[in-house]
A and B are shown apart, each in its own frame.
Chain A
Amino acid sequence: MKLEYILIGFGILFCLAGIGYLAAEYVKYLSETGRVVSLLLTVGMFGFLGKYFEGLGW
């Protein structure tokens, strides 16, 4: 079970690093609409992730 959490933790870290890299590289090329939708999706992603961990009992 602990190994699972470690793997999930690594997965989340890699996902965040990937998003961070893409954001740093390409956010300047995004249209205004793309930026707004990206922001909403980021908020949604963290919100749902929080609800998921809440459901797990964290």
Chain B
Amino acid sequence: MAVKHKNIFLYLTLACFVGLIAIFIVDGYLGVYDALYVPMGEREQKIEADQWQQWSQWEMAEVAWGEKAFFRYEVDNRQFSTYSANIAVSVWHGQEKVRDLISQEISIAAFDKGQLEWVIDTTELLPSGIPQEQGYEFTVIIQRGEIERKIIVYMYPLVYPSPPR
């Protein structure tokens, strides 16, 4: 009886271990995950699946005034079936849509990745009359099925106002 009782704890330990592995595989690995590569001046930064909340509230992509901003959106399908969704990308400013960039149906095979690329020419987005010394912000909204991702892009000025004399 004592031997049986002793082994019960070992079996319970193993059960917890198997449970942990199962959670990591089912909840942690399986699913559909997306990542976005955004411009940060001359660098490119990856926004990973766990950073969307932080990026929609605090972080900003950066592009110089009048330059082109390159974006790459990656969808990782870690499911046993093909994943299909419509991806629509649009640019917004002040709660108003400025323009639609992409609207495309994607179909990704099981355990495969798909990606979309687009370029925003910032000169086409700027309203007339804004001086080059002034920064400007716009929002890129990515709609994938029912999921919406928001990224704020800051256009930093190349010309700074001369200090007052």
- Residues of A with Cβ closer than 8 Å to B? 15, 18-19, 22-23, 26-31, 33-34, 37-38, 41-42, 44-45, 48-49, 51-52, 55-56
Closest 5 CB pairs of A and B: A26-B28, A45-B16, A34-B27, A52-B9, A28-B50
Contact B5 A29 (CB under 8 A): no
Of the listed residues B5, B13, B33, B49, the one surrounded by the most CB atoms of chain A closer than 10 A to its CB is: B13
Contact B24 A30 (CB under 8 A): yes
Given A26-B24, A41-B23: A52 touches B49 (CB 8 Å cut-off): no
Contact B23 A34 (CB under 8 A): yes
Q: In the complex, what residues of A have CB within 8 A of residue B29's CB?
A: 26, 29
Contact B6 A37 (CB under 8 A): no
Interface residues on B, range: 20 to 34
Contact A55 B6 (CB under 8 A): yes
**10 A–B contacts from the bound complex (CB under 8 Å):** A26-B24, A28-B48, A29-B29, A41-B20, A44-B12, A45-B16, A48-B13, A49-B13, A52-B13, A56-B6
Q: Mark out the residues of chain B between 22 and 67 whose CB falls within 8 Å of any chain A CB in the assembled complex.
A: 23-24, 27-29, 31, 33, 48-50
Contact B13 A29 (CB under 8 A): no
Nearest CB to that of A52 among chain B residues? B9
Q: Is B10 an interface residue (CB 8 A)?
A: yes
